[in-house]
Homo-oligomer: A and B are copies of this chain.
Amino acid sequence: MFLEIAHLEIKAGEEAEFERKVSQAVPHFMAAKGCKGISLHRCVENPSQYQLNVIWETVENHMVDFRATEGFQQWRALAGPHFATPPWVEHTHEIKL
């Protein structure tokens, strides 16, 4: 399993609307091949900064499969207008402690 971490900076004053749009986009992620979950986290120190976390079976499920879907287009149509800067995306895998 891999965790996509999308670092998102949202335009000032549009945070509540952005959060509603993410809720609307959840089914587009969950319908995608290999998607196992999604959560949204808002930064305390900089409240216009969010971290969208999506669990994928493989990195390719996100970068290749999902990006080729209509659902990805829907997600970007919903959330994209609220981005203050281009998203920065990375993938992580959990280290067993």
Contact with B along A40-66 (1 / 0, CB 8 A): 111111100111000000010000000
Structural contact, B26 and A93, CB atoms closer than 8 A: no
Q: Which residues of B contact A39 (CB under 8 A)?
A: 94, 97
Contact of A92 among B19, B43, B59 (CB under 8 A): B43
Structural contact, A94 and B5, CB atoms closer than 8 A: no
Binding site for B on A (CB under 8 A): 2-3, 5, 19, 22-23, 26, 38-46, 49-51, 59, 90-95, 97
21 A-B pairs (CB sep. < 8 Å): A5-B51, A19-B95, A19-B97, A22-B95, A22-B97, A23-B97, A40-B97, A41-B92, A42-B92, A42-B93, A42-B94, A42-B95, A43-B91, A43-B92, A44-B90, A44-B92, A44-B93, A45-B90, A45-B91, A50-B95, A51-B92
